[in-house]
Amino acid sequence: MRKTLLFFVIILIQAALTVSAQKKEPQPVNQLVIIANNPGPVISKDIYGHFSEHLGRCIYEGLWVGPDSKIPNTYGIRNDVLFALREMKIPNLRWPGGCFADTYHWKDGIGPQEKRASIVNVHWGGVTEDNSFGTHEFMKLTELLGCDAYINGNVGSGTVREMSEWVEYLTSDADSPMTRLRKENGRDQPWKVKLFAIGNENWGCGGNMTADYYAGVMRQYSTFLRNYGGNELYRVACGPSDFNVAWTETLMKDPSTRDMFQGLSVHYYSLVGGWDHKGAATGFTEGEWIRTFRANFRMDEVIKDHSAIMDRYDPEKRKGLVVDEWGNWFDVEPGTNPGFLYQQNTLRDAITAAIHFNIFNNHSDRVKGANIAQLANVLQSVILTKGEKMVLTPTYYAFRMFRVHQDANLIPSSLKCEDYTYDGITVPALTASASTDNTGKLHISIANLNPGKAITLTCPIIGVTFRKITGEVLTAQKMGDFNDFDKEETVKPTNFTGFNYKDGTLTVTMPSKSVVVIELSN
């Protein structure tokens, strides 16, 4: 109701601005009306979450090099990556998969390294997994990052006992076989685990279950995932992929099913032309550029479709939608193991990230978490490594710029903008969102998707005035520019001054193909 009223107010303001503009001068085509004195829901920091799977070089090399490596590390975790992720303000990290999660038996990955079981990673390249990175190493990683743990349990090939004992091992401080085992392995105090997923893609690699069957299994597993001591798990049930609303309906309709979880996941990847034409991550055409963004904008429809069902059964929005896998999925880099899903990352990916962040922010009443796939060396990564070298990708910089929105209050805004059309495809040329943090600073994040045109955006800011304005911009000479090993960084944020603020209206001139974040304060 409040949202509808607000929407109505914004429309009225826009209409009033249009009438007054018509009287005096031509109305701006591109306008973002911001109601700064009417904060909305908190944008959960978990919307800026990440995902690390035992897949290719994500865990091994990307994060974990082992304490004996010549690559500088802390307890085996590479220092360059730790530093970069802290800077980016990573809020949570999902692990150990993905499809790998439903093949993972956590007891293989604890205890002395030399005694750990080696297994075959059947989903990803059939390589040997020596389990040298397990529960203790992951929890140490989250401690060093200062982020929350998001653990994905094994429903597909595990047991209720196995999952329930994992939670006990991690979080209990009672005297029990699991806590004694943890202590034997060198950890006295329980850890805190914030998010726990009950299986991954159980409609597919996680067991090929029907929605009804999974709903029953999930209820059983969830019953034995206890809250120990002061730890309260946010249980995430496996949700649908893409537009499978029937799955959501099944998980949501029965109160005794939905009472068993706090969050419902959804996975949606952006593909240039379907699974048969993913296209190259670099050296792409403008046709592929715009098709990528068209796919990215469908995230908004995915969220709206699943939210509509959730709204029917949970109008108070107690259940969160957790988009715990998203991002651009391109062809693997030529010459690399196809099972490792390694792709480069260009300015296009940074704009993709901005489109997603603005969509998530604007749906923060329902979207309570999101995890890009994946952290390092896999799909749309923020970090690429080659031996001891590390590259920060354009997507990394988008995350770093948008960190200001974490746990801020969404500021309602309404964007009216021109189209960007190419090759018979049309998308909005701009995307935007705004928030106010707990010090009263207003942040506005905008992206211009058009690679050939700067765009001026007029932003009337209603209700609050500001004295100080700063900005950062991420752009590059070419659409396909990327950061590479042994080269100077070409895509990184710089100071932005292309704005003007007068009589409560901010005017921003967005360079072509750019992401801008503006801060207004007093």
Active site residues: 201, 325
Judged by CB under 6 A, the residue of 200, 262, 377, 435 near ligand AHR is 200
Judged by CB under 6 A, the residue of 201, 349, 365, 472 near ligand AHR is 201
Give whichever of 32 and 99 is closer to ligand AHR, judged by the CB atom. Answer: 99
Judged by CB under 6 A, the residue of 71, 141, 303, 373 near ligand AHR is 373
Site string for ligand AHR, 61-100 (x = CB under 6 A): ------------------------------------xxx-
DSSP conformation letters of 176-223: SHHHHHHHHTT--SPPP--EEEE-S-TTTTTT---HHHHHHHHHHHHH
Cα–Cα distance between 216 and 440 in angstroms, integer? 46
Residue 252 CB, shortest distance to ligand AHR, in Å, is 21
199 binds ligand AHR (CB under 6 A): no
Window 322-341: residues binding ligand AHR (CB under 6 A):
325
129 binds ligand AHR (CB under 6 A): no
Give whichever of 178 and 198 is closer to ligand AHR, judged by the CB atom. Answer: 198
Residue 308 CB, shortest distance to ligand AHR, in Å, is 24
460 binds ligand AHR (CB under 6 A): no
Site string for ligand AHR, 290-329 (x = CB under 6 A): -----------------------------------x----
Window 374-403: residues binding ligand AHR (CB under 6 A):
374, 379
Residue 53 CB, shortest distance to ligand AHR, in Å, is 5
Site residue total, ligand AHR (CB under 6 A): 10
Which single residue is written with the structure tokens 């995902």? 51
Please identify the residue of the shown chain whose CB is closest to the bound ligand AHR. Answer: 98
Comparing C-alpha atoms, which of 352, 351, 335 is closest to residue 343? Answer: 335
Give whichever of 306 and 405 is closer to ligand AHR, judged by the CB atom. Answer: 306
Judged by CB under 6 A, the residue of 10, 31, 40, 53 near ligand AHR is 53
Residue 123 CB, shortest distance to ligand AHR, in Å, is 7
134 binds ligand AHR (CB under 6 A): no
Within 8 A by CB and 6+ apart from 464, the residues are 36, 37, 442
Within 8 A by CB and 6+ apart from 35, the residues are 6, 9, 10, 13, 411, 412, 413, 462, 463
Residue 97 CB, shortest distance to ligand AHR, in Å, is 5
3-class state of residue 132 by DSSP: coil
Give whichever of 193 and 341 is closer to ligand AHR, judged by the CB atom. Answer: 341
46 binds ligand AHR (CB under 6 A): no
Within 8 A by CB and 6+ apart from 1, the residues are none
**Measured CA angle at 46 (ends 44, 49), to 5 deg:** 150
Number of C-beta neighbours around residue 111 at 10 A: 17
Cα–Cα distance between 270 and 158 in angstroms, integer? 30
Q: What is the rounded end-to-end Cα distance, in angstroms, of the chain? A: 32
- Contact in structure between 226 and 164 (CB atoms under 8 Å): yes
The secondary structure element, H or E, covering residue 80 is helix 79-88
**What φ, ψ does residue 455 adopt, rounded to 5°?**
-130, 135
Give whichever of 99 and 217 is closer to ligand AHR, judged by the CB atom. Answer: 99
Give whichever of 131 and 374 is closer to ligand AHR, judged by the CB atom. Answer: 374
Cα–Cα distance between 371 and 419 in angstroms, integer? 29
Residue 200 CB, shortest distance to ligand AHR, in Å, is 5
Give whichever of 150 and 228 is closer to ligand AHR, judged by the CB atom. Answer: 150
In order of 3, 121, 339, the CA distances from 352 in angstroms are 27, 30, 24
Residue 77 CB, shortest distance to ligand AHR, in Å, is 21
CA 6 to chain CA centroid, Å, is 27
Give whichever of 200 and 307 is closer to ligand AHR, judged by the CB atom. Answer: 200
Residue 101 CB, shortest distance to ligand AHR, in Å, is 8
102 binds ligand AHR (CB under 6 A): no
Q: How many helices (H) and strands (E) does the chain have?
A: 11, 27
Give whichever of 201 and 349 is closer to ligand AHR, judged by the CB atom. Answer: 201
Cα–Cα distance between 42 and 365 in angstroms, integer? 8
Q: Which residues bind ligand AHR (CB under 6 A)?
A: 53, 97-99, 200-201, 325, 373-374, 379
